[in-house]
Chain A
Amino acid sequence: MNRSPYISNAPTVSTIMFKVLLALVPGIAAYTYVYGAGIVVSLVLATSTALITEAALLKLRQRPIQPYLMDLSAVVTAWLLALSLPALAPWWLVVVGTFFAIVIAKQLYGGLGYNPFNPAMVGYAVLLISFPLIMTKWPAPLALADQPLSWSEQVSFIFQQNLPASMTVDAISSATPLDYLKTQLMLNKDVASISQAPIFGYFGGQGQEWVTAAYLLGGLYLLQQRIISWHLPTAFLVALSGIAGAFYLMDPSHYANPVFHIVSGASLLCAFFIITDPVSGPTTPKGKLVFAAGVGVLTYLIRVYGGYPDGVAFSVLIMNMCVPLIDALTQPRVFGHEK
């Protein structure tokens, strides 16, 4: 016997997750164009690891495997993690990160719907703390490399760390713009001269700009599909550009302009795909604004004052911890009640 309402008009969890994956496709395409096919290998590795570990844990926890694998949430986590890692990350790095994300951050907390922390960001943070050297070693965009690796050479590098005889690891890797900016500032150079380096493009990192633009496209699609609400990306971008703008106005020679911060690093991936994880995020409209603004400010502070090149992962995890408090303090006014 059914109970009312007898009708429903909701996308299933699988549909929602599928649309998120779909929205990532332009970003992946741009990524592949800029850095080569290595990312596809990473995505495949992360996806397989996520599905296998999720299935194994569901079996251990005696939960139905098929409906939970079909919800595609593990695949979303895997993709977000793979896209956060340096292109050409060794295969075991991807596997270890995904394992942590799914097993520790998701399933051990109770699986879908129960994880207090963003699983992809937990995986990323674990890798960043454990393997800082590899995690900060990004390959140069193909366009900037002296001798770009061919696709097969990339795959070979991912699995065996083999390079063609004539090359060294240093030859293919380079600092990211955020990293480069930080180290050069410590050498007392000013922003204007630093951004003359070839890794800088029009607004941010050379090539990286295109990936960022593609993420924006995917994010707009998610907004249009009402998969995500406007509160989170808007508050994040306003907060990040607001604090960056304030610092920039104080001392333009020492602080990069807000546009640079928005198009660099994982800013837009964070705005549209990472902080929009509903499970580990807040639920009230005001809470979403507070949460996203908090992530934006923390990201900037970690970038400028912290020891890591990008601050998205730690900012998200710190704000995840505040979610219960944020939710409790931002309850909207119920109809017929005073505030």
Chain B
Amino acid sequence: MNAILNLASRLLPGLGRHDDVYAFNGGVHPLEHKAESNTRPIAKLGTPKTLVLPLRQHVGHLPKVLVKVGDRVLKGQLLAEAEGTVSAAIHAPTSGTVTAIDEQVIPHPSGLPDTCITLSCDGLDEWTSLQPINWRLSDKKTLVDSLRLSGIVGLGGATFPSHIKLRSNSQSPIHTLIINAAECEPYITCDDMMMRERADEIVAGIEIVKYLLGAETCLIGIEDNKAAAAEAMKAACQQGQALVKVVPTLYPSGDARRLIHLLLDLEIPSDKRSTDLGVQVFNVATVLAIHRYFAFGEPSISRIVTVTGNVASPQNFEVLFGTPLTDLIAAAGGAQDDTSHFIMGGPMMGFDLPSSQVPITKAANCIIAAKPDLFPAPPPAMPCIRCTRCADACPVNLQPQELYWFAKSDNFEKARDYKLFDCIECGCCSYVCPSTIPLVQYYRYAKSEIIAADKAKEAADLARERNDFRLARIEREKLERAQKHAERAAANKNEASAKADADEATPSATPSDSPVSDKQAAIAAAIARAKAQKLASGPAPDQPPASKADAQATPADKQALIAAAIERAKAAKLAAAQAGLAPKNTENVSPSVQAEIKETDAIREKARKLTESDTSEPDKG
């Protein structure tokens, strides 16, 4: 079927400009709304009074803060370094003083506050000393390691630390680099404008990334609604550094797997990464940042942001990270009076910002001022009529109507069987749903429930494993103890008979003659005393049945003690059984084990009483 479609798309006139492009299933084409913001050049936004830098601006571990409140920092200085494998550094976007390291509202769908470094800017914009690196003269490992200090993350919105994607992998060498310049979400034009204005720098970045990956070819995927950008990129690639490929405007062509399929007719298996098949994808803005890091030593301190929607003059701005959203909105002529809130990202996958005070972060590719007319609240959802418009639109070829049904009825196993986790949450299904069902929210809910259940199951498995191990250990220790006892008993027997022999052999020995036998006599006396004492006091209920003090007791004594202990244990068990408390699993074990259990219980009881008295004491006082 796909072969026929591909053939048809090649034969049909009008599709000819998308040479060698392979269609994916579904997709939608919303109104583009790009013309509002791509008519003005990129403007540089000035330095605000304060910058708020969230530590969480990337996927992975939080970086380690290197500065403290009161420190003066210079522009480009490292404020927090990457910690762990997947992490990214944070740098000072300008010079100034650290005034706070505390929790503030960050641009995140949860709306929850997170740790941020607040920088009071001094307006001097004084650079730290920068170290450009001539990448042509350095080896790859050094370059990638140094990139870890750059703080560069994927600027398309995914914010995955870039240095990890560039690490060499001998198992699956990269042969093709794909530059994602599709920018398929409506409203967003930051990549479009960047390509028009900075194509040469982008191509310089492409050369570096190609070198680091060892990729032979590079394809740049650009949607056909950005003709000027495609022309600029083609002009910059005169020497064949990369091949510009124009793809049809069809959301979500900017999804990495969709773009790879479009450009290479290569379907990345669900359980593999594109790098397993020798393909790596970088956003166009990210390669530009990599170029600036090596060419000028500039770390990641700013990005280009589209400000559009209900503002007076929509435009793209180069913005320092940490800049308050209000400054950016003011620069775009301010938001109109009927603005209800702001959206970060595009209208298909973006989210509502919790306030207009949030800072601009590495993930902020677009800010849309929203008003009810622009994004009206959907009418109440109607029942699904199984029209399968969603299935027709799904770029992953899922059956969204079935997934919805399973998610709604908490039938999560079925949802998993129907490949719920292949859903990329692009929103195409909701976009075309006549019943206006918030399908993506159902899928997110089902995914989180399944993940939580998996985690709980994992924890239960771990606990069971631990318990099994503990039981095995107790059993082993028991055996070891029994063995030790047997050995010791045998040793005592030998010693006793040897002593008797010795006594017989030296009946007339005087104390002065033999200091050794003196000592033995003293020990024997001490033992006799101890025994007498013990007999007098009687067997204490909490006394261990096989006392260590009886190390030298005769086997007969010891047997008697053990017998007594067994009697005690039996009596205790009988009493417990009468009280209905007998632990059922101890019935079939040997008497010595039962005695041991009894001992353990006695210790526990003691400990319980102890803690009780401990906790009750303050009340008394």
Contacts and interface: CB of A to CB of B under 8 A. Distances in A.
A202 B275 CA distance: 65
B418 A5 contact: no
A307 interface: no
Nearest to B28: A9
Interface in B401-419: 401-402, 418-419
A334 B427 CA distance: 17
A73 B385 CA distance: 10
Given A331-B418, A334-B397, A336-B268, A3 B382 contact: no
Contacts of A7: 30-31, 186, 347-348, 375, 431
Contact of A112 (B31, B345, B382): B382
B334 interface: no
B534 interface: no
Contacts of B395: 335
B430 A5 contact: yes
A2 interface: yes
B352 A5 contact: no
A281 interface: yes
A113 B261 CA distance: 35
B24 interface: yes
Contacts of B388: 229, 278, 283-284
B270 A337 contact: yes
B436 interface: yes
B535 interface: no
B343 interface: yes
B399 A2 contact: no
A332 interface: yes
B13 interface: no
B440 A3 contact: yes
Interface string B346-365: 01111110000000000000
Nearest to B386: A278
Given A2-B375, A7-B375, A10-B389, A67 B431 contact: no
A153 interface: no
Contacts of B28: 9
B47 interface: no
A9 B431 contact: yes
Contacts of A1: 341, 352
Interface string A286-316: 0000000000000000000000000000000
Question: Which of A6, A73, A337 has the most chain B CB atoms closer than 10 A to its own CB?
Answer: A6
B440 A112 contact: no
B431 A8 contact: yes
A186 to B, nearest CB: 41
Contacts of A13: 382, 385, 434-435
A92 interface: no
Contacts of B386: 113, 278-279, 281, 283
Given A2-B378, A8-B431, A337 B347 contact: no
B501 to A, nearest CB: 83
B267 interface: yes
Question: Which of A4, A5, A71 has the most chain B CB atoms closer than 10 A to its own CB?
Answer: A5
- Size band of the B side of the interface? 35 or more
Nearest to A286: B1
A27 B24 CA distance: 38
A113 B385 contact: yes
Interface string B13-33: 000000000001100101100
Interface in B142-192: 186
A4 B350 contact: yes
B440 A5 contact: yes
Interface SS of chain B: loop
Contacts of A151: none
A73 B28 CA distance: 27
B387 interface: yes
B438 A3 contact: yes
A114 B440 CA distance: 21
A4 B384 CA distance: 19
Contacts of B432: 8-10
B399 A332 contact: yes
Interface string A1-33: 111111111111101100000000000000000
Given A334-B419, A335-B267, A112 B375 contact: no
- Size band of the A side of the interface? 35 or more
Contacts of B378: 2, 8
B458 to A, nearest CB: 25
B383 A6 contact: no
A149 B378 CA distance: 52
Given A3-B438, A4-B440, A335-B24, A67 B186 contact: no
Given A10-B433, A67-B380, A336-B269, A5 B348 contact: yes
Nearest to B418: A331
B396 interface: yes
Contact of B384 (A113, A334, A337): A113
B249 to A, nearest CB: 14
A336 B377 CA distance: 34
A335 B401 CA distance: 17
A4 B351 contact: yes
Interface in B225-259: 257
Interface in A227-285: 229, 278-279, 281, 283-284
B427 A11 contact: no
Interface string B314-350: 0000000000000000000000000001010101111
A90 to B, nearest CB: 33
A5 B270 contact: no
A71 B379 CA distance: 13
Interface in A71-123: 71, 73, 111-114
A337 B269 CA distance: 6
A73 B341 CA distance: 37
A327 B24 CA distance: 22
A5 B386 CA distance: 20
Nearest to B391: A283
Contacts of B441: 3
B352 A2 contact: yes
A10 B440 contact: no
B183 to A, nearest CB: 16
Contacts of B380: 67
Contact of A11 (B384, B418, B434, B438): B434
B257 A335 contact: yes
Nearest to B341: A1
A332 B397 contact: yes
Contact of A6 (B347, B382, B396): B347
Contacts of A3: 351-352, 438, 440-441
Given A5-B347, A8-B430, A336 B440 contact: no
Contact of B370 (A6, A113, A338): A6
A112 B397 contact: no
B391 A5 contact: no
B613 to A, nearest CB: 54
A322 B384 CA distance: 20
Contacts of A113: 382-386, 435
Interface in B427-465: 427, 430-436, 438, 440-441
Contacts of B422: 334-337
Given A3-B352, A337-B270, 4 more contacts: A10-B433, A13-B434, A113-B383, A114-B383
10 smallest CB-CB distances across A and B, nearest first, come from A113-B383, A5-B427, A336-B270, A6-B375, A6-B347, A335-B396, A334-B419, A278-B387, A5-B348, A278-B386
Interface of B: 24-25, 28, 30-31, 186, 257, 261, 267-270, 341, 343, 345, 347-352, 370, 375, 377-380, 382-389, 391, 395-399, 401-402, 418-419, 422, 427, 430-436, 438, 440-441
12 contacts: A7-B375, A8-B436, A9-B431, A113-B385, A114-B383, A278-B387, A281-B386, A284-B391, A332-B399, A336-B267, A336-B270, A337-B269
